[in-house]
Structure 1
Amino acid sequence: MRVLRIATDGSVTSVDLIEGGRTVSQGLYSELECRAFGLVTLPDGHGQVIDLWVDEEGLYTTAINTVATAVAKHLEPRIAQPLFGHVVLTSSDDVETVALTDSQMVTVLHAIPITNRGDALHAVPDSQTRVNALRPATECGPGYRRRVVDELHRARHMWEVDAAGACLVAAEIAAGFRPESDYPDRHDPALYASAPTVSSR
């Protein structure tokens, strides 16, 4: 069950909540590193919900989670209470806890505050793996593609996640990893958040 964990240091990681056969509750205790957890349910903006699991004793035992608080306020601007400790984000189907959908993952990544140039690209799913795959097109040799270099340069200087993602998609098209038809939709969150599935190599 793939979910997101936002640590108090601001790092965001994708984790399998039931890895190794653990139950959802066991996974929450482990990822939150707490003795008791609470739940904050917020709208995802598309008719579903995103559940934020928090350390119930965090107010007294740990620091404010500024990134998770920013995400919560993005989802529900009326939220006034900051979140403390590590936070795990899941979804639910009115009966049980389920994994975040791809669109919910993108919604959360959009909500993460970008404070420095270049940070936006880090928030695009699998960005480092995808940039590494493009490396042959950025080095001298028969595979070199100037457009790939230019698009990656732009991506690293974007403030917004969608702009950085769009530049990464353009670089992947230039490298032959995606069809040219992806270009008109490069700003579509579902497209820039997905690894390329077409390759001419």
Structure 2
Amino acid sequence: MKSLRLMAIAPLIAVAAGCGGLGKPNGSGEEKRVVSRISMQEAAEKADAIMLGSISSVRPELNWVHHAWSDGGCDGHTIDGRPTGSVTRRAAVMTIVSEARRGSLLGVVERHWEKLGYEITGHNTSEDVPAVHARTPEDFRMSVLVGKKGQFFLTVTTPCYLASEVQAPRTRAGGTAFEGSVVPDPSVPSEFWSLDVPVPATSAAS
């Protein structure tokens, strides 16, 4: 798939970002102090690793693809007088996840984040767009949400780091890439995730 550097993000993806303002804690308007001097490219690679680890924590494995990614400036915030920027990476799950098993899949990702010491910052319990939001100690913000037709989207947004050119994700996706900015509906059946019955309490999928 062609990775698109989109500066205007669709409402659904905006929900996925799950953070209150790039480089600003809790969206309060207070400037975030960034002590690391890594580049946006290095931050993007870490975001890719977080993304891959989150998806790989799910068993049985999911069919997934990289979705449109974006980068941009941080409202004039600088480090030693140098401009900064933030990167957002996205992935879309192509596995068909039944309504009965969507909550279980959200739970798998949430428990993975908790095991890594990430802070769970919020839940969306609505039936339309259920989601879990989290962040790392370095303030990378993550979200996993369920969109239309039960499609799962994962998003990782970096804090503000030194501005640099940013390359497309290099991590290998577990599905067939697609062209364009419109994500196809989930179409890959799973002998586990597509079943129309809840996940048994003793299941190894965790």
TM-score by length of 1: 0.27
Structure showing greater radius of gyration is 1
Compare the two structures and name the one with the higher helix fraction. 1
- The TM-score, its normalising length taken from structure 2, stands at 0.26
